[in-house]
Structure 1
Amino acid sequence: MALTVREQLKYWGIATALFLAALWFLGSVMLPFLVGGAIAYFLDPVADRLETLGLSRAVATALISVVALLIFILAALLILPLLGQQLLALINSAPKLLNQLQTFLTLHFPQILEQHGVAHQTLVTIGETIKSQGGKLANSVLTSAMTVINALVFIVVVPVVAFYLLLDWDRMVAHVDDWLPREHRPVIRRLAREIDAVLAGFVRGQLTVCLVLGTYYAVALMLVGLQFGLVVGAIAGLITFIPYLGALTGGTLAIGLALFQFWDQPLWIGVVAAIFAVGQTIEGNFLTPKLVGHSVGLHPVWLLFALSAFGTLFGFVGMLVAVPVAATLGVLARFGIRQYLNSMLYRGTEMERPGAIGAPPDTGAPGGKSGA
């Protein structure tokens, strides 16, 4: 006999509680496995495509791993050191830039920066905070984000986990499909396909958009000669998943730096602004429609709430699982709404009676034909 709705809710509630408890108690332990699983999920379509070209799953996985290793080595040798140097230099230069801003405002807008005004006190406070905490914050981020042991474990475990999950991905999916309860298997499969479509459309697509735009902004700003262009491009690309925020934040930071660096060369300031205008045009008209699409159904506000909530409760691991959880809850919510709209609770018995509002007209003849 099939389980009642109350019994099903009880078992699903227990599974959800166990999942949250595992995040709470094993978050730091689960981190490399979650990252490895995310990488495997991201690269599974690439492996499938290589299989269609005639390669075996093992050869496809090995080829992807070699290419990923080469990219990682290239980034570790060329990009990451430069990014770290520019980040430190930007933080160390922040007090000087702030003093220049204060001088500029004092010369051109003296009424804003009165000696005892709010704006003046705010700038002084920000400058003192940056001077006292900026270097400490940078050193903490760069040296204390992970201990050496954790870093080594992370670097070793993540590729191994990603390799084996990518190798056995299709087999694992088939086993999980066999474990689905027979009575609800069609519905669960349909919901799983919808969840996968949301994740594939958003995570894979949006990460690709972030990578493309971050690379474009960084390269373009460095070619222009903007100081800290690599950092600004990386920041703009990193937060591009939030519509307009990446370009707004990166553009404001880049134009602000350009004002100090190219104050007597307005042409280059315009070039920096044009770089972000072109980036927004490319993103809005080509990248996002092509790679992400308009049917993802993952609203930015809902995404921000999920990231904030899970990040507060479970730390960095919570932020990693926030997007899949948000996508799953969104699909389940839409499924629940569809069920409600097709239920008697919404439709009521009045809808079945001729003459009721919204009911089909009574033609007086079988089959919906008039008697005329």
Structure 2
Amino acid sequence: MTLQKQVLFWLGALVAVILLVWLLRGMLLPFVAGMALAYFLDPVADRLERVGLGRLLSTLLIVGVFLLTFVLVVILVGPLLTSQLTAFIERLPALMMSLQQLFTDQNREWLAPILGDRLPDIQKSLSELATQGALWLVASLRGLWSGGAALVSVVSLVVVTPIVAFYLLYDWGRMIRAIDSWLPVKYRDTIRELANEMDQAIAGFVRGQAGVCLSLALYYAVALIAVGLNFGLLIGSMAGVLSFIPYVGSLTGLLTATGVAIVQFWPDWHLILVVVAVFAVGQILEGYILAPKLVGRSVGLHPVWLMFALFAFGYLFGFVGLLLAVPLAAAIGVLTRFALRRYLASPFYTGLSRTVDASDGTDA
């Protein structure tokens, strides 16, 4: 097969896979989640096998412990988060209006010299904007929370995902060996090297970032509850989970918590500054302790590229796209670096008749 035919074949296969994922995106969530769960729990199963447990027993033990932990978290934390989310949705318009009034009240002497006669018009515009924005956000959250499709997705996720994860985790080694045996013999070493680099990037980032998110969610929730902030558990958990996207979690949590703190604690600036300090300390913990220790700096995922991948794949494929975004971004990054190395070593770049090793500049 010529190079041109190979390129056309793999491009056609890629287009077919993308089209298939797009068509089936509504029912793929539990299967993709189960595959992701099996992938990240496979090292634990391998360690248990080395200890002496069989693969079946190791798989049953891992899935059982995971389900037990998940059920306990849902029972202990779920009702609190649900009640706070419901209350937050109901009180959001009032919070927005209170916040708007604090900054545009005509009695605020510090605004009058700056805005002058324009203050009433600005107040009216901000009031309308805050009202419309709050109503839109409340309607969106209610639709997401009570939608029938969302409920079906959650049920299928809870029921189907553990089953898929169990079977994939049990057969993981055999699947990898089978796929490895299908690789073209001529390019087998190169493909294995690329696959290993992708595995290190995906596992290093996602496992490490998951630890960072859990640590930050626990810290923010406990700290905000200790301060006495309304909806502290909800805001702290949200900030921790959204920290998976660089800078988005901390910024979202900071803005939300500061707005709630201003409405709740005004005019006591001390408690408002304490809330801001909670997120400043969280950023220090994330940037200088958690991220270097748990994630490291060699995963090859730039924050801007990661954010673009999450938004792009989420827009195209919904929640399934969010699950696929990180591994696909890591894979694309690895393939791009590989292609760049080949280009730098090619005669097209060097202008030489012989290829040059891109790492040290010597003749290959």
TM-score (structure 2 length as normaliser): 0.89
Residues 19/245 of structure 1: CA separation in 2 closer, same or farther (3 Å cut) = same
Deviation at 1:336, TM superposition (A): 0.5
Q: How far, CA to CA, are the matches of 2:136 and 2:288 in structure 1?
A: 41
Measured against aligned partners, the alpha-carbon deviations of 1:95-115 in whole angstroms (never above 9, x if no partner) come to 222222233222332455712
Q: Map residues 61-76 of structure 1 onto 2, 5 A cutoff.
A: 61-76=59-74
Residues 195/134 of structure 1: CA separation in 2 closer, same or farther (3 Å cut) = closer
Alpha carbons 1:92, 1:134 under 8 Å: kept = no
Aligned twin of 1:332:
335
Q: How far, CA to CA, are the matches of 1:239 and 1:148 in structure 2?
A: 22
> Given the alignment, which residue of 245, 250, 266 partners 1:242?
245
Aligned twin of 2:120:
115
Deviation at 1:160, TM superposition (A): 0.2
Tell whether 2:141 aligns with 1:138.
yes
> Given the alignment, which residue of 31, 36, 46 partners 1:48?
46
Tell whether 2:230 aligns with 1:232.
no
Q: Map residues 1-372 of structure 1 onto 2, 5 A cutoff.
A: 3-105=1-103, 106=105, 107-108=107-108, 109-110=111-112, 111-112=114-115, 114-117=119-122, 120-130=124-134, 132-144=135-147, 146=149, 148-349=151-352
CA RMSD of aligned residues (A): 2.4
Q: How far, CA to CA, are the matches of 1:326 and 1:9 in structure 2?
A: 21
Residues 359/213 of structure 1: CA separation in 2 closer, same or farther (3 Å cut) = closer
SS in 2 for 1:116: helix
Q: How far, CA to CA, are the matches of 2:254 and 2:152 in structure 1?
A: 38
Residues 147/290 of structure 1: CA separation in 2 closer, same or farther (3 Å cut) = closer
Q: Unpaired runs of 5+ in structure 1?
A: 353-357, 361-372
Counterpart amino acid of residue 114 in structure 1: L
Q: Unpaired runs of 5+ in structure 2?
A: none
SS in 2 for 1:322: helix
Measured against aligned partners, the alpha-carbon deviations of 1:30-53 in whole angstroms (never above 9, x if no partner) come to 221101101111212222232333
Q: How far, CA to CA, are the matches of 2:290 and 2:173 in structure 1?
A: 29
Counterpart amino acid of residue 84 in structure 2: Q
Q: How far, CA to CA, are the matches of 2:244 and 2:154 in structure 1?
A: 27
SS in 2 for 1:272: helix
Counterpart amino acid of residue 12 in structure 1: W
Q: How far, CA to CA, are the matches of 2:322 and 2:137 in structure 1?
A: 25
Alpha carbons 2:202, 2:330 under 8 Å: kept = yes
Q: How far, CA to CA, are the matches of 2:3 and 2:361 in structure 1?
A: 30
Deviation at 1:264, TM superposition (A): 4.6
Residues 145/301 of structure 1: CA separation in 2 closer, same or farther (3 Å cut) = farther
Counterpart amino acid of residue 154 in structure 1: L
Residues 65/18 of structure 1: CA separation in 2 closer, same or farther (3 Å cut) = same
SS in 2 for 1:115: helix
Largest Rg, 1 or 2: 1
Deviation at 1:74, TM superposition (A): 1.4
Deviation at 1:128, TM superposition (A): 4.0
Measured against aligned partners, the alpha-carbon deviations of 1:71-115 in whole angstroms (never above 9, x if no partner) come to 221122221221122112112222222222233222332455712
Q: How far, CA to CA, are the matches of 2:231 and 2:361 in structure 1?
A: 65
Alpha carbons 2:100, 2:130 under 8 Å: kept = no
Alpha carbons 1:88, 1:138 under 8 Å: kept = no
SS in 2 for 1:27: coil
Deviation at 1:218, TM superposition (A): 1.2
Q: How far, CA to CA, are the matches of 1:250 and 1:44 in structure 2?
A: 33
Q: How far, CA to CA, are the matches of 1:347 and 1:285 in structure 2?
A: 41
Residues 177/359 of structure 1: CA separation in 2 closer, same or farther (3 Å cut) = closer
Q: How far, CA to CA, are the matches of 1:29 and 1:259 in structure 2?
A: 43
Q: How far, CA to CA, are the matches of 1:273 and 1:129 in structure 2?
A: 24
Out of 159-168 and 241-250, give the one that drifted further: 241-250
Deviation at 1:11, TM superposition (A): 2.0
Alpha carbons 1:240, 1:246 under 8 Å: kept = yes
Residues 146/76 of structure 1: CA separation in 2 closer, same or farther (3 Å cut) = farther
SS in 2 for 1:283: helix
Deviation at 1:163, TM superposition (A): 1.1
Deviation at 1:188, TM superposition (A): 0.2
Q: How far, CA to CA, are the matches of 1:283 and 1:21 in structure 2?
A: 38
Q: Number of residues paired by the alignment?
A: 351
Alpha carbons 1:41, 1:166 under 8 Å: kept = yes
